Chain A
Amino acid sequence: MKKRYTVALVVLAALGLIVGFLMAGFSVDIYDFKPLPQQISLGLDLTGGAYAVLQADSTGMDPGEFGAKLNTTLGVLRKRLDEKGFLEATVVKEGSDRIRIEVPINETSQIKDPDAILSFITQGGFLEFKNAAGETKLTGANVIQAYVSMNEKSQYVTALKFDNEGAELFGKLTEEAYNNGTYIVMTLDGKTISSASVEKGPIYGGNAIIEGGGTNGFTREEAENLAIQIQSGALPLTLHEIENRSMSASLGQDALQKSLFAGLVGIIMLFLFMFIYYRLPGVVACIALTLYIFIILLVLALIKSIQLTLPGIAGIILGIGMAVDANVLIFERFKEEFASGKTLRASMNSGFHKAMSTIIDSNLTTVIAGGVIAFFGVGTVKGFGITLIISIAVSMFTAITVTRWLLNLVLDMNVKNVKFYTIRKSKAQLAAEKEGGLA
């Protein structure tokens, strides 16, 4: 028994050290590890980013047509930003013919240069397939899916999947080129990006690929950008940049600092409550909660595509609530079991066992909600869903597995004074006291 808890204490100390190092940051040789909280990508509302104002070209259009096209343009831009991981970006109309885009940019963004982001999203994305005579036979409107793939030369390519009409048209186009020994041309916004002969016979399967050409073909990013531009649909309007600048957090400059302070005060009060009410198990729950917060920070720092925003923080707070709830459920069960006359260890075990079905049901139901929101939601709503799922997964681990392990450890260490665990005494104990024997 003694050996076991020595090992456990060493594990705990090592874990504490790792947590400390990761939180504070360190540098070894050329490796510079920044403090964990600084590695988390924050959203526009908490950290700021860049904004741009774009002018839409309305020449030759009546106002109704222009308005409709402007709305489509907003949707296309939104889709492209979402696909590039800028879930928290905002796209709004300014005046009658301008579009204002605000994008959170930080170390973890897939594209960091505001100019590169702008040129990516403002690319028209109008794809055409032409025959050798230069007649357009098929456009990107018939593409239902565009994705990155690889050709036999191990180069990145943009693969396309057509709808039925597109498959038919593409088949005819390739058949014509095959029979006449000519080639087909693919153009993007009027510029030729690829031209190819059809050597193996007409292609009726509804699939096509766009190769980068040259010796190296596309880079992965180029192929992906093209896929996103085609899949999101072509921009119906031409856009000109008129302003492009950096900006501070949209919740206000000191929002993050003050919110962190507020959160800290809240958590300290929560710890105090758990300690005063549940004593030793309460302390164990607090250790588990600290670990929960650390793991959440780690996950957020590792998965760069998740941006932390105010709704995201709400998801994490809900996770804290669920973790505390799981522990409260277990400890209340433990008290009930103990009051019925079981030993500390037996009460602890059946406390965990009996609370389990409640915890699993309540957490799974919330995961279902989180999953739907993460799947169907757009923008910040999606961000909430994703952090909620992560929070619940982590909180189940810390509140059940970690708490249980620590409590068993405490029992192994022969901390058997009932006062450390509960206020109420068990029937067995009361009987023993009456007899004047040992509790």
Chain B
Amino acid sequence: MKLWFLNKTKFFVIFSCLVVLAGVIAYFAYGGLNLGIDFTGGSIFTVEMGSPFDDADINAALKANGVDPGSAQIIHGGANNESAIIRMKELPLETDAVSLRQSILDSLSSKYPSASAGEINNVGGVTSSEIVMNAFLSIVIASALMMIYIWIRFTFYSGIGAVIALVHDILIMTAFVCIARVELNSSYIAACLTILGYSINDTIVVFDRIRENNKRYDTRQLTRWQIADMSIRETLPRTINTSLTVLITTLAVYIFGVQSIKDFTLPLLVGLVSGTYSSIFIATPVWMVFEVWRDKRMQFKPAVQKSKA
């Protein structure tokens, strides 16, 4: 029987490796990740606008003074929403904090004549390294426990396959944000966690069908690879429909969402595609390679016993 999906495993593994490699190159070429203000912190100052205000006016004033509005955050504060709390990732090199404060006020003065501001202070990131470490540790512990669960319900090697696929998806997502220079804020952690849940779900569905077909067919009729390939084909309508529905929903949120939602859903979209791809082209082949390797070892042992008898 012809293999439809598992006959080019090497190609797909190399493809994934190349994407990750491109990510690593981009990482070093750009000098690290494009971390947002949640991680890096930056500068903060509060402008008393004198009246309720429009974010666009502040953005224009920031832009006129060389501050990138894309990585700045504006929060409305005070009892009447008349103060603008402005967080900036980095200050323009050519000015110091005192003159920047004055020139931003000057830019605002035509529309908000009574605007006044406190001094510009540096501020730490809201997402501390402890939170990142904590999230990372949680992912590691969660992966280990999921592996044990899959080991109990399936086989030990399928647990390895599922977790490798998981690591693959997180790597692909991270490679993507390196290459596309997506600004990472704390929502990226949530995106990674979401993919963790989605990817494992997708993998289990394929694995479950393989388990079912393993019971139905003897390995003398069909090879393990053929059974796995058949299982992928049988679950294909489900794989496509589920992926499509989740992708459509996420894409709609990406298109209509505000900037911070876009920053969250873009890596998520990549992760969703990768999650589906990896359950077919990474998780399943990894499981099969191990399983076939074990079969060979098992076949060898009875042969020795026979010759003794």
Contacts and interface: CB of A to CB of B under 8 A. Distances in A.
* A and B physically associate: yes
Interface of A: 45, 48, 51, 74, 90, 92-95, 98, 100, 102, 245-255, 258-259, 261-263, 265-267, 269-270, 273-274, 277, 310-311, 314-315, 317-318, 320-322, 324-325, 328-329, 332, 335-336, 357-358, 361-366, 368-370, 372-373, 376-381, 384-385, 388
Sorting the interface of chain B by its residue count into under 10, 10 to 19, 20 to 34 or 35 or more gives 35 or more
Contacts of B194: 314-315, 317-318, 384
Interface stretch (B1-9, B102-110, B142-150, B172-180): B142-150
Contacts of A311: 186-187, 189-190, 193
A259 B258 contact: yes
Given A266-B253, A314-B264, A378 B142 contact: no
Contacts, number: 230
Interface stretch (B13-21, B122-130, B284-292, B300-308): B122-130
B66 interface: no
Is chain A's interface secondary structure helix, strand, loop, or mixed overall? helix
A247 B123 contact: no
Contacts of B261: 251, 255, 258-259, 262, 310
A270 B134 CA distance: 34
A317 B137 contact: no
Interface of B: 41, 44, 55, 73-79, 81, 83, 85, 121-126, 128, 130-131, 134-135, 137-139, 141-143, 145-146, 149-150, 153, 186-187, 189-191, 193-194, 196-198, 200-201, 204-205, 208-209, 234-235, 237-238, 241-242, 244-246, 248-261, 264, 268
A366 B197 contact: yes
Contact of A273 (B186, B234, B244): B244
Contact of B135 (A259, A370, A381): A381
Contacts of A270: 245, 248-249
B255 A262 contact: yes
A324 B125 contact: no
A318 B191 CA distance: 10
B258 A258 contact: yes
A310 B124 contact: no
Given A314-B264, A328-B245, A263 B253 contact: yes
Contacts of B150: 365
B151 to A, nearest CB: 11
A382 B308 CA distance: 60
Contact of A277 (B74, B85, B209, B241): B241
Given A252-B260, A270-B248, A270-B249, 14 more contacts: A48-B76, A92-B123, A94-B44, A246-B77, A252-B55, A255-B260, A262-B255, A266-B248, A267-B249, A269-B252, A369-B142, A369-B145, A377-B135, A385-B138
28 contacts: A245-B79, A246-B79, A247-B75, A252-B55, A252-B259, A258-B257, A262-B252, A262-B253, A263-B252, A266-B250, A266-B253, A269-B248, A270-B248, A273-B241, A273-B245, A310-B190, A311-B186, A311-B193, A314-B190, A328-B242, A332-B235, A358-B209, A366-B197, A376-B137, A377-B138, A381-B131, A381-B189, A385-B138
A247 B250 contact: no
A378 B190 contact: no
Instruction: Select the residue from B139, B186, B189, B190 with max chain A CB neighbours within 10 A.
Output: B190
Contacts of A267: 249
Given A245-B77, A248-B75, A262-B256, A328 B241 contact: yes
A135 B200 CA distance: 59
Nearest to B153: A361
A369 B146 contact: yes
A311 B248 CA distance: 19
Nearest to A75: B130
Nearest to B134: A378
A318 B238 contact: no
A109 B258 CA distance: 27
A379 B123 CA distance: 19
Given A320-B249, A388-B197, A362 B78 contact: no
B205 A358 contact: yes
Contacts of A250: 73, 75
A358 B255 CA distance: 33
